[in-house]
Amino acid sequence: MEQTDSALLRDLIQHEAWGEVGSHAETMHVQDVAAALDDLEPETIARVLPELPRERWAKTVSYLNLNLQNLLLQQVDDETGRLIMSEFSPDDRTTLLETLPADQVEQLLKLLSPGELKHALQQLGYPEESAGRLMTTNFITVREYWSLSTALEHLRRYREDQETINTLYITDYRGRLQGTISLKRLVLEDPSRKVEELVTGEPVSIFASEDRTEAVRLIQHYDITALPVVDANGAMLGVVTVDDIMDVAEEENTEDFHKIGGVSAVGLSLRDASPALLYRKRIGWLVLLVFMNVFGGAGIAYFEATIEAVIALVFFLPLIVASGGNAGAQAATLMVRALATGDVQARDWLKLLGKELGVSLALGLTMGAAVSILGVWRGGPDVAIVVSLSTVLVVVVGSMVGMLLPFLLNRFNMDPATASAPLITTIADVCGILIYLSIATAVLQIGTA
Amino acid sequence: MEQTDSALLRDLIQHEAWGEVGSHAETMHVQDVAAALDDLEPETIARVLPELPRERWAKTVSYLNLNLQNLLLQQVDDETGRLIMSEFSPDDRTTLLETLPADQVEQLLKLLSPGELKHALQQLGYPEESAGRLMTTNFITVREYWSLSTALEHLRRYREDQETINTLYITDYRGRLQGTISLKRLVLEDPSRKVEELVTGEPVSIFASEDRTEAVRLIQHYDITALPVVDANGAMLGVVTVDDIMDVAEEENTEDFHKIGGVSAVGLSLRDASPALLYRKRIGWLVLLVFMNVFGGAGIAYFEATIEAVIALVFFLPLIVASGGNAGAQAATLMVRALATGDVQARDWLKLLGKELGVSLALGLTMGAAVSILGVWRGGPDVAIVVSLSTVLVVVVGSMVGMLLPFLLNRFNMDPATASAPLITTIADVCGILIYLSIATAVLQIGTA
């Protein structure tokens, strides 16, 4: 439904049917209007804006991608820019400002009023990827000793769009967060009752300097839609809302996903990323892994005599070596994800090691049995023994590497997701070559070079 | 903070200090109480429950893992079971019931009142992983022609805990959804005004039979906290809330994550999964990939004469072959994730192909240059030419396979994440062997077997 709305709007824009653009956009959600604009040139978007009602400009622009938001704000006249920037919610404003190079930030800051400027600079002062950067500073506070009718009266005065109005925050005279009260209770209880009679216990909160992933965890753990942000003294600074948390969770998931595939990605949108950026995010691991594979080559060189004696062994090399890498990649993937979601903890490693040992042995035996048939066919019973025995060992060793490396990285406060599938595959490859050719040399009784 | 709370509570339980268990748990959030219980035996939890206030039983149990919820309900007496089941929110109840084997579902259904039973069976009638399974049926509807004060009066009568009370749903006489009104507006506007004057346009909604991933997408796209669920006639059935959506999004991300690592995972918690289940989720791909690697072995056998003539070539085999696999795994990871988040669409494939061609060529040239140094050192200028040329080609081909396979799978309505790192690595390995040994045979002018 919304797909066709956006597509139709884009059509109207491309045919420059400006009158219809306005009337069609009016019936649409701002998110869908933004989706229609998201692929267009900033000049075109600047042309579309006047067709939309002024009060929807900021909201529409806030749903464009950040790069486009910036280009657009450079494109429009100062008055329009000022209107958009001042109607941005504080968290959207911070998100835009923090992605820009310093000189462009300055240009945009000029569009803010002194009050907004102070807020914006303060928020940019929190560490990158902190809860402070993520919060909106629009929230409503009430006092414990107020009656509900006073609180409602207070609310009426701040009636404009407050994202977080479904919960009111109770603060003391120094702004310290004491509790919360839901709008629901405020409305449904007797208006002469005091706020303090209805306050819900100590609220979950987060320090502004804490990592945003902690904000994600708290909102998920407590099933809440808004998380108050406080300073070191407990004074209330803002609120992180669940819609921002979902975006952060998606970004963090994307980062982990990229890492497991051996791409060092930091907030990478594939569509917007330049080829040069993609090159930089990928080349590091690739070159590192090339040099790790030299050890595999060296292993082969060491066992050259074995290979020359029984050249049929080379037939099984890719198969055996890859089996260890594949089983290891599986194990690493399972561990990295389980550590990331909190499904398992660092302290569970020994229990999981036992489980993985059992599972990988069963996997190895199954695959060894399959490979032994090929062994008999290609090289006779001796080769069959070598390849099936090697397969079992290689699968178990690969799985152990894949399982343990994420825990080791975690132990040394590194990201477990660094144990990527390509890294595990490479380590398992090198181990696999050494195991396979050692067993072959021993069983087939060949002298090494 | 909550970590220590949970740990302390667990200590008290393990020391059977029942009196203190109750008083300590009272100050805690139910989620943290559940976290403390989540590792314990059902018998122990059944012993702890009476120490908690009755009105917190259902909520606490709903935060335990599903397996434990089931065991616990078998453990407690019927009266307790009935109390817990009837106070479960409808979506929690459905989630529990849908994971159980049929005979155990029957036992639990006996604990429900006729009205609850009807609702539960109805909800289990929607397809698995549909929006209907996910919704809660607790919501509040008002009529367009009511005044705000009538609506408020109506609200007061349903004052008990309604998850979704921050939005009221406007339905016509046949229950069809007409619009929504926020509690905020209901409270802040003049009570004599009519609901219809304040109704917000056509609300975003979803059919009960639609996939739950569509519910995730809608809630993320529109930044809403609750999504109404309707039947084919537009009659309102329930509401999907953002907290459930976050859980679904996490599950879906875990599935994708596992798939890219070559594990066919369906709702797998690593901690709870039995070794037998883990074996089954992993063995399929591993055995399939073993047999695919036979083609690599066959490639080597075909070029046996080349290898025998220049045995130094084997030194570079792991390195060159792995480079293609690694670059391919990177490309596949980027594409699979971008398709999953909607960052790129199926129709973007040609644009992305061009970009990937450029990036992979740059990656290949860099790696080829690095490898050529090794080539001169190990085998002289001829071998250097062979290995560097092969590296460039293998990296480009591997990247193309990794980039295109997810799009192809998507085109044929299969899950792009099936293009896992191990699968891409294996395909790239086979291609790599053929490319490398073909180039070697041609450049070094060796006759093949």
Task: Report the percent of chain B where pLDDT is more than 70.
Answer: 96
A256 touches chain B (CB under 8 A): yes
Q: A193 in helix, strand or coil?
A: coil
Chain B residues close to A366, C-beta within 8 Å: 283, 286-287
The b/e string for A232-254 (b: 16+ C-beta within 10 A; e otherwise) is eeeebbbbbbbbbbbebbbbbbb
Contact status of A344 with chain B (Cβ, < 8 Å): yes
* Rounded Cα gap, residues B140 and B153, in angstroms: 12
Neighbouring C-beta atoms of residue B166, cutoff 10 Å: 18
d(CA A354, CA B347): 46
- Distance (Å) from the alpha carbon of B284 to chain A's nearest alpha carbon: 10
CATH 3.10.580.10 in chain A is located at: 141-247
Least confident residue range of A9-18, A82-91, A437-446, B306-315: B306-315
User: What single string gives the DSSP state of each residue in A203-246?
Assistant: PP-EETTSBHHHHHHHHHHHT-SEEEEE-TT-BEEEEEEHHHHH
Hey, are the CB atoms on A270 and B322 less than 8 Å from each other? no
Q: Going by C-beta distance under 8 Å and a sequence separation of 6 or more, which residues neighbour residue B106?
A: none
**What CATH architecture applies to the domain B2-125?**
Alpha Horseshoe (1.25)
pLDDT over 90 at A396, yes or no: yes
A404 or B268, higher pLDDT? A404
Angstrom distances, CA of residue A194 to CA of A170, A179, A199, B22: 12, 14, 9, 29
Distance CA A151, CA A195 (A): 8
Per-residue confidence (pLDDT) for residue B160, from 0 to 100: 58
Interface of B with A in 56-95 (CB under 8 A): none
Segment 285-324 of chain A within 8 Å of chain B by CB: 285-287, 289-291, 293-294, 296-298, 300-301, 304, 307-308, 311-312, 314-319, 321-323
Tens of pLDDT, residues A296-334: 888 888 888 888 788 778 888 888 988 999 999 999 988
For CATH 1.10.357.20, the residue range(s) in chain B are: 275-443
Is some CB atom of chain B closer than 8 A to the CB atom of A223? yes
pLDDT band at A191 (very low <50, low <70, confident <90, very high): confident
Contacts 24+ apart (CB under 8 A), B36-40: B36/B5, B36/B6, B36/B7, B36/B9, B36/B10, B37/B10, B37/B13, B37/B64, B37/B68, B38/B64, B38/B65, B38/B68, B39/B10, B40/B10, B40/B13
Selection from A138, A136, A133, A139 nearest residue A213 by Cα: A133
Q: A136: which 2 tokens?
A: 């909106």
DSSP-assigned letter for residue A76: S
Residues of chain A numbered 94-133 and touching chain B (CB < 8 Å)? none
CA distance A388 to chain B (A): 12
- Given a cut of 90, whether residue B230 has pLDDT beyond it is yes
Gap from B285 CA to chain A (nearest CA, Å): 9
Sheet holding A167-171, edge to edge: A141-142, A167-171, A177-182
The helix (run of H) or strand (run of E) holding residue A394 is helix A349-411
B328 to chain A: closest CA residue: A261
Say how far apart CA B190 and CA B188 lie, in whole Å.
7
Confidence of residue B389 (pLDDT cuts 50, 70, 90): very high
- Res A224: pLDDT: 87
pLDDT of A1 above 50: no
Q: Which residues on A lie below 8 Å from B341 (Cβ)?
A: 250, 254
CATH of domain A141-247: 3.10.580.10
- pLDDT tens per residue across span A417-446: 888 888 999 999 999 999 999 999 888 876
Measure CB to CB from residue A300 to each of B186, B317, B329 and give the nearest one: B317
B304 to chain A: which residues are within 8 Å by CB?
311, 314
Tell me how far CA of residue B343 lies from CA of A270, A282, A288, A337, B213, in angstroms.
7, 19, 29, 22, 16
A111 has pLDDT over 80: yes
A206-231 per-position pLDDT tens digit = 999 999 999 999 998 888 888 999 99
pLDDT band of A131, cuts 50, 70, 90: very high
Whether the CB-CB separation of B332 and B415 falls below 8 Å is answered with no
User: In this complex, do B330 and A285 lie within 8 Å of one another by their Cβ atoms?
Assistant: yes
β pairing state of A167-171 and A177-182: antiparallel
Work out the average pLDDT over A362-369: 93
Q: Pick the residue with more confidence: A201 or A282?
A: A282
Tens digit of each residue's pLDDT (9 = 90 or more) over B186-223: 888 888 888 888 887 678 999 999 999 999 999 988 88
E strand map for A64-211: 141-142, 167-171, 177-182, 206-207
CATH 1.25.60.10 intervals, chain A: 2-125
Q: Chain centroid to CA B77: how far?
A: 35
> Is A318 in contact with B260 (Cβ distance < 8 A)?
no
Secondary structure string (H, E, C) spanning A334-354: HHHHHHHHCCCCHHHHHHHHH
Considering only CA atoms, which of B46, B29, B114, B33 is closest in space to residue B84?
B46
Q: What is the DSSP secondary structure assignment for residue B38, as one 8-state letter?
A: T
Mean pLDDT of chain B: 86
Compute the average pLDDT of residues B393-417: 91
Could you identify the residue written with the tokens 């029984």? Answer: A310
Which of these, B436, B446, B302, lies nearest to B371 by C-alpha position? Answer: B436
Strand order in the sheet with A206-207: A206-207, A226-230, A236-241
Interface ipTM > 0.90: no
Q: Do B287 and A367 touch (CB under 8 A)?
A: yes
Tell me which of A367 and B301 has the higher pLDDT.
A367
> Cβ contacts (< 8 Å) between A428 and chain B: which residues?
none
Q: Output the six-digit token pair for A109.
A: 């800051």
B104-158 pLDDT, tens digit per residue, is 788 888 888 888 888 888 888 899 889 999 998 888 888 988 988 888 888 887 7
Q: Is A314 close to B304, i.e. CB distance below 8 A?
A: yes
pTM of this prediction exceeds 0.80: yes
Chain A residues 180-199 with CB within 8 Å of chain B? 183-184, 186-188
**Cβ contacts of A279 on chain B, cutoff 8 Å:** 359, 362-363
Interface test with chain B among A330, A339, A363, A399, by most B beta carbons within 10 Å: A330
Q: Which residue is associated with the tokens 């992979």?
A: B360
Contacts of A257 in chain B (CB under 8 A): 253, 256-257, 260, 333, 336-337
A275-443: CATH topology is Tetracycline Repressor; domain 2 (1.10.357)
A389: closest CA of chain B, how far (Å):
15
Two structure tokens written together for B34:
């559940």
How confident is the model over A375-390, as pLDDT tens digits?
888 778 888 999 999 9
Q: Taking all residues of chain A, what is their mean pLDDT, rounded to a whole number?
A: 86
List the CATH code of the domain at B141-249: 3.10.580.10
Q: Which of B92, B274, B295, B315 to mutate to test the interface with A (most CBs of A within 10 A)?
A: B315
pLDDT above 90 coverage of chain A, percent: 21
Query: Which tens digits make up the pLDDT trace of B282-331?
Result: 888 888 888 888 888 888 888 888 887 887 788 888 889 889 999 999 99
**What's residue A292's pLDDT?**
86
Above 50 in pLDDT, residue B449?
Answer: no
Whether A31 sits inside 8 A of B270 (CB atoms) is no
Q: Are B430 and B299 a contacting pair, CB within 8 Å? A: yes
Q: What would the pLDDT profile of A49-73 be if each residue is shown by its tens digit?
A: 888 888 888 889 999 888 888 888 8
Q: Is A24 on the interface with B (CB under 8 A)?
A: no
Query: What is the CB-side half-sphere exposure of residue B96 using CA atoms within 13 A?
Result: 30
pLDDT at position A130: 92
